[in-house]
Amino acid sequence: MEKYYNTLEKNILSYAPFDIKKLRKAYFYAKNYHQNQKRASGEDYIIHPLNVALILSEMHADIDTICGGMLHDVVEDTESTLDDVEQKFNKTVRNLVEGVTKMTKLDFDNKNELSASNLRKIIVSLAKDPRIIIIKLVDRLHNMRTLEYKSLEKQQEKALETLEIYVPLAYYIGASKIKDELENIAFRYLKPSLYGDINKQREELKKETKPLLEDTKEKVANLLRKNGIKANLEIRYKDNYSIYKKLLTKVKFEMIHDMLSIKVLVKTTKDCYLALMLIHENFTPINNHFKDYIARPKTNMYKSLHTTVFGKDNHLIQFQIRTYEMERVAIFGLTSYWFKYKNNAKTLMQKDLENNFQFFKSIKELDSTILDNIEFVSSIKKELFSSNIYVYTTSGEVIELPNGATVIDFAYKIHTDIGNSMVAAIVNDEAVALDYVLENQDRVRIITDSKAYIPKEEWLDKVITTTAKTKIMEFIKEKEN
């Protein structure tokens, strides 16, 4: 573990002359309080907070944030108190540790009024210091990297929770590097077989298209150089989870327009548009796949020009064109301030968060308009933390469905015969109507009767999945014949 700490010190001193004595104090404090604890891997527990601090140092975090990362579990898991943390370090470190400890209690499915009230306070407090979210995301990232040591049930639970809560949070603060890794690890544990199939196809595509992309990259690099534009170009392939999401929309693997891409990094915004013009002059673009996120950034402040063109042999190639500064923001989001500003990064993060990031504006808006705590939590979940839903079978299998799906959709997702013979449904141990709209983490049991094949035409108005609608219509048509 000493090698981890030595690397941490080296990382920090490479970008700022921070108070290393404070770091050492945090390390030995955490090591002392966690001394009798082990991780599921059998390692000393201190390895985890050390790795959290290391990842934060790779982001060029300030010393208080790194100390907060080192100490993030001491209050929750040991006899250390917040008062003691404040006395040994400072108020800022105390607040960071306290905020991360509270975030561990995020539970959108508890309908208790007191729990909803506490959850509301946690959610609203997220906007007070973005470093709390960053530490918690890094904590989750390291835990996901070492998820192999957990039981299958725990792996699925943590993977699902990661997709529901931590991936959206990473997206909302623009931390795409963390978001992408969290998504892909969670996907691998939730759907290992499908993950493997997609990864195999992706690797085959990479091998097949590498010469094409290398040739295109070189042509564009020469083109930009001849026109006085200094640029770095990088070949990229769409990641497994992003491919999976595209396939869910019924797009065929080979027709995903941004599967192959080349990232173009230049110095100025003007160079971005000049590069775009030159690329369009030499490659035929697909008009409906052009996006100007520089003129209109995404809600998490992502900026870039995206254009998809026809390459050799009609292969579709996406170009992502942005400045080095835009690239830093695209990868690190709010944390990019640590790279550019040392002393007042936190203040700038906070200001940017409040003025530009839609997620936090939405939190404030909902907080100011909704009085009821349970309704507030429900609205946050529905509007900010939902897209697809993940529900459980009675055996614990995770089933993914589109938001708004009913138990009928669920039944047909399991098997056609289950849908056709469904007579009742139990959700979370309570009987529900067949048009009951499912929510994340619902536990669903379908009651069937093999003699009661009863799909009705009105069911078509109670489902949203194509599979369910198709199977119902097939049954009705067959019955009429």
Compute the distance between CA of residue 398 and CA of residue 287 in angstroms, rounded to an integer: 39
Compute the distance between CA of residue 115 and CA of residue 374 in angstroms, rounded to an integer: 9
State yes or no: is 77 an active-site residue. Answer: yes
First and final CA of the chain: distance in angstroms? 72
Q: Check if the beta carbon of residue 447 is closer than 8 Å to that of residue 422.
A: yes
Q: Identify which of 406, 408, 402, 407 has the alpha carbon closest to the alpha carbon of residue 389.
A: 402
Q: Check if the beta carbon of residue 303 is closer than 8 Å to that of residue 297.
A: yes
Which DSSP state fits 128?
T
Q: Check if the beta carbon of residue 49 is closer than 8 Å to that of residue 28.
A: no
What is the crossing angle of helices 240-248 and 192-226, to 10°? Answer: 110
DSSP-based three-state secondary structure for 296? coil
Compute the distance between CA of residue 413 and CA of residue 403 in angstroms, rounded to an integer: 14
- Which one from 19, 58, 76, 372 is the annotated catalytic residue? 76
Distance, CA of 82 to chain centre: 30
DSSP-based three-state secondary structure for 385? coil
Distance, CA of 390 to chain centre: 15
- Which one from 19, 77, 197, 215 is the annotated catalytic residue? 77
Which DSSP state fits 163?
I
Compute the distance between CA of residue 72 and CA of residue 132 in angstroms, rounded to an integer: 10
Q: Which two tokens stand for residue 346?
A: 């936190």
Compute the distance between CA of residue 303 and CA of residue 325 in angstroms, rounded to an integer: 10
Q: Check if the beta carbon of residue 329 is closer than 8 Å to that of residue 301.
A: yes
Compute the distance between CA of residue 45 and CA of residue 309 in angstroms, rounded to an integer: 50
Amino acid at 198: I
DSSP-based three-state secondary structure for 312? helix
The set of catalytic residues is 76-77
